[in-house]
Structure 1
Amino acid sequence: MSPNPPPATPAAKERGPLIGLALDFGPLAVFFLANVLTKNIFLATLVFMVATAAAMLAARIFHGKVSPMLAISGVMVLVFGGLTIWLHSETFIKLKPTIYYVMVAAILFFGLWTNRPTLKVVLGAAYPGLSDRGWSLLSRNWAWFFLVLAAANELVWRNTTTDFWLGYKLWGAMPATILFALANIPLLMKHGLDIKTAESDPPIPPQG
């Protein structure tokens, strides 16, 4: 008689669409709300730092890992947020998205230049079946999009109020990022994406 089979291992928790959006954009929404309620950008920045750290912890719990892009964004929030509070200058937290976007774009362009699309390493499990050509096009599209976001952030924070800049990030940059991710789906399907086994919600880079 064969021995009883070992008990089944509980399935790993899946990152559903709502959890994904909460992790990616929750800290930014909290930042905006804290500034509206307190009218104090420095206190709001502190709340933003705490919310970002909480999102990274939640990603570890619900998704089993912290994505490289969320980790980079989180570390930059903590560093530039800390400088904002320490030096009492809101310039640092406003400049942070520009540096983040340019840095990620540079990483993506470098991956294309070396013929090793960076997004394939980061998002490979999310987009099964995607061809190398598809990964190259996706990396190229996101790299240029990040440069556009960097330019837009510079234009807004240097020419408007803090409240307007925060509103732009929540109601402008965030919806634009979601729409851009969705707009790339036809391209991905054209280049081999298995839509049946792909993640139900397209992976969206966290906001800078």
Structure 2
Amino acid sequence: MSKILSNKSNINILYEDNHIIVVNKRAGDIVQGDKTGDKPLSDVVKEYIKDKYNKPGNVFLGTVHRLDRPTTGSIVFARTSKALPRLNKLFSENKAQKTYWAVVNNKPPKNEDTLVHWLKKNPKNNKSYAHLTEVEGSKKAILHYKILKTLDNYVLLEINLETGRHHQIRSQLSSIGCIIKGDLKYGAKRSNKDASIHLHARQIQFVHPVSKEDINLIAPLPIDSIWDACL
């Protein structure tokens, strides 16, 4: 299931039924409102639902998980109060398989490996720092990566998360010298023109909270020369 069903209201819908809606998030979209006051993706999706189904009053929409603002790819919302707690449980228990693609500046030490760190978040600069041993206030972070493709100046990695920590992929990859293209916060020398970073939530797999069918979605890549070279 990788076909974009709709781009009405300037959003790309990967999957939609009565209980859930999955969106291919663009760089720059914030999932929920924050101190910037910028319109969040959740509000855009609510407007899309309200318009499409001519719904009176407020539209219910539950945010199940998040993606960093400069990151792109698949994100799941609950459309009903029945689906929301079930999805929350599924994601909190890591029963949703999320696969990311990242374009990094250096080839990692191994073609594939498991990274284990202890991440500690600094709220002042909204950044997580990776430690090889546990430190006070840190949380264990585990990810698995493998090299998918070597480009002229970059390397494409596929990443599967075992834990879901703040800026986990960005911090852990940076700690081994593999900085995501455009990610100034974690060591990139140059930003991307659109303020994105080359980290994309490429695939998501989970069991539907109501119908129990297997959902397996692939989010098309953003359109640029680097991502184009990854295919």
- Using structure 1 for the length normalisation, give the TM-score: 0.30
Q: Which has the higher strand share?
A: 2
Higher Cα radius of gyration: 1
Q: Which has the higher helix share?
A: 1
- Using structure 2 for the length normalisation, give the TM-score: 0.28
- Relative CO higher for 1 or 2, CA cutoff 8 Å, sep ≥ 6? 1
